[in-house]
Structure 1
């Protein structure tokens, strides 16, 4: 009977520890405040010893022993073990800044002391208060119980050390994720704020050109249009995504500024499927592409320039293309990756920072008179409350 009882204890302890290791590390430990931490520890300790209590009772039934006879004494012993386990947990928690080896060593010593106290109480209760029927509490039985207690207390201690380490790693991961997000936000803002100066310089050059040509009324209109455009872009959140229709509306305003100067040379076509007009894109992501088309398309030719902005869907990707075709037909030089201008390089950096695995930019001549920049982004749908705004700000399909 003694051997069966001891084996029963060992089996119960193994089942309890195994169950707790599996269940606890599946929990969400997002709240690591002191109060929440110790509240969770108390619940775990109570659950641990409750599981041991009921598993032991179940094994007693299997062995033909009535667990009800021993339940009151076993309950007292379990409550003592709960208090001792909380003390061990508190001591180990105070050592969380020490290395794991030191924590394990202290846990082993505390487990031996704790098991000695619990086994002594167990021995006196079962021997003098309510003797166990059919069980002789010999020295050998005492030693088995002591070893069983050490295995439980030390098993809990190792679990608790692993539990604290798990919380520590999760906290470090959260801090690292926050740091990465803050760094990405700062980078995106820096790249975004490069757009306005770049655009401003180009537009001021256009105004100077109009003034030199004596077109003062046109220059005035450009200044007013520039003021309106800059006000909108400066008030815009650099990390806020826009519906494609909103982005196109902004580019239409920019092109209106350029057409004040080159009204007889620029024609613009928008080829945007209706179902893609609500797709989300980073704000002002097309601005440098359109600027590049105007600047280099007109800069290399004295003829007319046709700009086409198109969108298409390729599986789960959104492809945006800006084509500029010159009527002069002169040969355009190949553009290497290192040869991208400030604007295109800016877009490429923004796309890589925002979508490391789902974005790209390709620029190069299609034919001697045809240059294309293609931007690939993940296809993302807007939130429901953005659909109405996107519809209001939608740009027309074709602008001449």
Structure 2
């Protein structure tokens, strides 16, 4: 029942979102049409005034008549626009034919208005109907209306392209969010698997108090990490604090072998990083460094900057006899971090690992330097 209610609620939310999007699209289209119409017919007014001036007609005396004609033409223009909008799903050739047909239908009406305005200027004389002048007026009005129809089709196409780009941007953002969440949540099962194995090992070794303390520390750690938004960034000092809590959990098991150190310059404490981005690398250092060593191993986490990039490194000592060829695969950990960085930063984020010049195993994260 709860599932059905949740699904219905989600569908209603999607429906309301679509309605708001459509309403916003229609409002934007109306605004664009008004702006284009104002610019277009103002230009026509200026052009016709200049042309009439060159043929000896006073621009000021003819202005009222031109304004009446333009007012009628604007009404015709919006009628043409409404019909084109109604059939906006037609193919390009069909739209072109529609523009031509609408121009032929509307031009006689506009030419008749033009003739009535001329008659008004000549009143009380009654002008004779001149077919040739009427044809000239038809041609002139046809050019104006066909020009408007073509401009409106181009504007409509531009509007649809922008709307499609916005929808694709939203889809890409949602897909990126889903991918980031999936990659982020891959960490928790891997971490819990290792931690529960550590607790089981403590119980098998007859150390129930240590196991109990480890469970308490684990619960506090999970309470903190589960409140984090998988798609948000956190301050570097908070990320380091989470890793210190994790290492405190692991130290319950490897108290005689695990040592850790952090070198985070104070100016970088406020740098923003994806939440728990260091977790798989620290886990890897514990598993393949401390877990396979008999002597004490040091896990170090360092931070530095270079060329406006934040560089984080997790380094661990290598147990004697653990050669390069014998280094186990780090599996999902490094791949997870690399995929998260790529999804978040594109080619500006990367993760790599290998032996450094000191013979230590080093995993390095590189990402753009962003401050809070």
Normalised TM-score (structure 2): 0.87
The yes-or-no answer on 1:130 pairing with 2:124 is no
Deviation at 1:99, TM superposition (A): 1.0
Unaligned runs of 5+ in 2: 1-20
The yes-or-no answer on 1:311 pairing with 2:303 is yes
Deviations 1:88-110 (CA, angstroms, capped at 9, x unpaired) = 11111100111121111011111
Deviation at 1:39, TM superposition (A): 4.7
Q: How does 1:86-235 map onto structure 2 within 5 Å?
A: 86-126=78-118, 128-131=119-122, 139-235=131-227
Unaligned runs of 5+ in 1: 1-28, 383-400
Q: Distance in 1 between matches of 2:358 and 2:294?
A: 15
Give the 3-state SS of the residue equivalent to 2:346 in structure 1.
coil
Q: Distance in 1 between matches of 2:353 and 2:326?
A: 9
Deviation at 1:137, TM superposition (A): 9.0
Give the 3-state SS of the residue equivalent to 1:261 in structure 2.
coil
Structure 1 pair 63–319 and aligned structure 2 pair: CA distance change class (3 A): farther
Higher relative contact order (CA 8 A, sep 6+): 1
Q: How does 1:377-392 map onto structure 2 within 5 Å?
A: 377-382=367-372
Structure 1 pair 68–252 and aligned structure 2 pair: CA distance change class (3 A): same
Deviation at 1:180, TM superposition (A): 1.4
Report the equivalent of 2:273. Answer: 281
Report the equivalent of 1:374. Answer: 364
Q: Distance in 1 between matches of 2:364 and 2:228?
A: 25
Q: How does 1:5-154 map onto structure 2 within 5 Å?
A: 32-61=24-53, 65-126=57-118, 128-131=119-122, 139-154=131-146
Report the equivalent of 1:386. Answer: none
The yes-or-no answer on 1:325 pairing with 2:317 is yes
Structure 1 pair 36–327 and aligned structure 2 pair: CA distance change class (3 A): closer
The yes-or-no answer on 1:353 pairing with 2:347 is no
Structure 1 pair 299–260 and aligned structure 2 pair: CA distance change class (3 A): closer
Give the 3-state SS of the residue equivalent to 2:304 in structure 1.
strand
Deviation at 1:367, TM superposition (A): 5.2
Deviations 1:291-338 (CA, angstroms, capped at 9, x unpaired) = 1011100233211111111111121211111000136363233769xx
Give the 3-state SS of the residue equivalent to 1:33 in structure 2.
helix
Aligned residues of 2:316 and 2:361 also touching (Cα < 8 A): yes
Give the 3-state SS of the residue equivalent to 2:312 in structure 1.
strand
Deviations 1:148-168 (CA, angstroms, capped at 9, x unpaired) = 221111111011111111111
Deviations 1:51-93 (CA, angstroms, capped at 9, x unpaired) = 3213432454566642111112111111110111111111111
Deviation at 1:40, TM superposition (A): 3.9
Q: Distance in 2 between matches of 1:298 and 1:246?
A: 24
Aligned residues of 1:307 and 1:323 also touching (Cα < 8 A): yes
Q: Distance in 2 between matches of 1:291 and 1:376?
A: 18
Report the equivalent of 1:388. Answer: none
The range that moved more, 312-321 or 139-148, is 139-148
Structure 1 pair 75–369 and aligned structure 2 pair: CA distance change class (3 A): closer
Q: Distance in 2 between matches of 1:53 and 1:256?
A: 80
Deviation at 1:250, TM superposition (A): 0.2
Aligned residues of 2:284 and 2:330 also touching (Cα < 8 A): no
Aligned residues of 2:292 and 2:319 also touching (Cα < 8 A): no
Give the 3-state SS of the residue equivalent to 2:284 in structure 1.
helix
Structure 1 pair 244–255 and aligned structure 2 pair: CA distance change class (3 A): same
Q: Distance in 1 between matches of 2:27 and 2:310?
A: 48
Structure 1 pair 114–360 and aligned structure 2 pair: CA distance change class (3 A): same
Normalised TM-score (structure 1): 0.81
